[in-house]
Amino acid sequence: MDVETRTEGEVLIGRYVLEQPLGSGGAGVVWRADDRLLQRPVAVKLLHPELAHDPATAARFRSEASSAAKLTHPNAVMVYDIGRDGARDFLVMELVDGPALSELIAAGPLTADATAYLGVAIASALGLAHRRGMLHRDVKPANVLLDAEGVPKVADFGIARALGEAAARLTAPGSVMGTARYLAPEQLLDGPLDGRVDVYALGLVLHEALTGRAPWGSGTALEIASRRLSGDLRPPSAVRSDIPPGLDAVIQRATRLEADERYADGAAMAAALDPLVGAAGRHELTRRLRDLSGLPARATPARADTASRRAVAGVSGRAAPPQPRSPQAAPPPALVRPQASQTRPPQAAPPVVPTSTSPQPVRASPAVRASRPARGGKRAAEGRARRGADPRPRPRRGRRRMRRLLVISLLVAGMAVAGAQLDLPTVTDLGETIRDTDVGDLMDAVRDGVSGRLGG
């Protein structure tokens, strides 16, 4: 059975089930298939009968496919496997469930942002291949696939070199196959090749994406070759006036007739395109993909609504805007907490209840306490004066705790000096008394006791 007569449901090497043909090109037919072993969808490229029956071409195909399988890049179609089923060679690749760039361009020219985004992605994948000594040799819109998220992926690395002149024999005399439209001048002249041939082809692809026209026009292979070898390509701005000057200059340099005047490799071209990428580039591609497939645009909530929801949920650092409430939803007045600006009424200190016969601290009279300077020293008094007569209450728990410990220490020391009995119940009762007594009163009592002791 020939390669061209494959049918749905056929199984290659007992593993890959052919499900649906996706397209045909100069190398072969691409099928959507199912990988039984790993249980995942894949793309299988079956060589044309003329190529599959040529031993030299089949050997080069397997060699180049093996090299391409070692290339891992987010913008390059991954090669999973190569195989031979009887007399049929095939290539198993990552399935990109989306159209080719050629279909997108056929629907209309792309914006400058989308074109720059495409250029950076494709050039970076080519740059990785160039660093590893690989050339694509067949960069064209049909070999750039787009997934559902608008991510471009370059396909068929090394296939052009593997097929060589065998694929050209499939083209009718006097016509130009898709690949020939994007060949660099040195490829037409059989000169030495390096990464600049892929740079030239990518420049033509970006030119076509912006203008919507095939590079060098239409005609026979001889006519297109003569135009290409006669001079440089007209810049995109000659066809479309809204092209940014930076993007126009990059494409002009990439499509120079002389290879020495182009970017050295894909990485250099990606670096030149990267500053030109706008924020809307990828979004423009996804929108065009939805328009091409007829799918409705995804509903995107407004940014203000999202921020408001996050603020209400406590995620945002900003306070949520006030929301109107119905009278029934208002809390009862008894449950409403006072605002931060309101101060609580002062509470009287609990009375001191003697719990034992141990000496109790003596409270100073209000007149004595009023005659003494405010606690805290001169700096504290100046701070209170700057803040005003109604200072904002501040937590002083740590300071009160330290004062209580100081009072306990002083009382114990004073009792020891006075010859009082210091057993465990006495110390325990003293601690409970101090805990329930105002700190200021305790300090006054200690101060009065020490003064009296020294005076006696």
What residues have CB less than 8 Å from 216, skipping those under 6 apart?
181, 224, 227, 228, 233
The DSSP output letter for 22 is E
138 is catalytic: yes
Choosing from 54, 81, 113, 138, which is the catalytic residue?
A: 138
Q: d(Cα 276, Cα 365) in Å, to the nearest integer?
A: 82
Element holding 79 (H helix, E strand): strand 79-85
- CA angle, 418 as apex, 412 and 419 as ends, to 5°? 90
Q: Determine contact, residues 361/440, Cβ cutoff 8 Å.
A: no
Nearest Cα to Cα of residue 122 among 291, 277, 279: 277
The DSSP output letter for 27 is S
- For the chain, how many residues are written? 456
Nearest Cα to Cα of residue 165 among 336, 51, 41, 9: 51
Rg of the Cα trace of the chain?
43
Q: d(Cα 240, Cα 238) in Å, to the nearest integer?
A: 6
Record the tokens describing residue 347, joined without a space: 């509470």
Expressed in angstroms, the distance from the first to the final Cα of the chain is 125
412, burial (CB in 10 Å: exposed 0-12, middle 13-18, buried 19+)? middle
- CA angle, 192 as apex, 190 and 198 as ends, to 5°? 95
Active site members: 138
